Structure 1
Amino acid sequence: MIETIRREQGASLRDVVNEALRRGLTQAKPSRRRAFATRTVTLGRPSLPNVDDVADVLDQVEGGSHP
């Protein structure tokens, strides 16, 4: 459909697409959605106090030595 309009108007694809977007945006109705809220949950205490060092975490969790 866009290609047909482009040929009929002798315009570039870019110009046809931009015009379609402009028309769609001016005709669009603002939505009246409610604000989205994320519920919080308690996950309990972490089993490891610090997880910054991945090798250390693997050693603690798997009980082995990792390079």
Structure 2
Amino acid sequence: MSIGTEVTLDDDVSERVKQESRVRGTSVRDTVNNLIRVGLNNLDAKPRRTLEIRPTHMGHRPELNYDSVDSLLEYGETEQHR
């Protein structure tokens, strides 16, 4: 069952819908319906946990040049550090 409804979209939203429609090869109507379905289905989704990174002090190695990524990679790839 379809209900005809007029919706006024902001210019940026309209352009994005048209772009998605071209990429997907679907009509603007089908694209709008699919995007609304996805948005409505995500309303009930539980938010994902955020990734928490805890820094760890690993000490200072005076023999390493911390300003040179290449030298750090070279140091890490030596046989004694594998």
TM-score normalized with structure 2 length: 0.32
**Bigger relative contact order, structure 1 or 2 (CA pairs below 8 A, ≥6 apart):** 1
Task: Provide the TM-score with structure 1 as the length reference.
Answer: 0.35
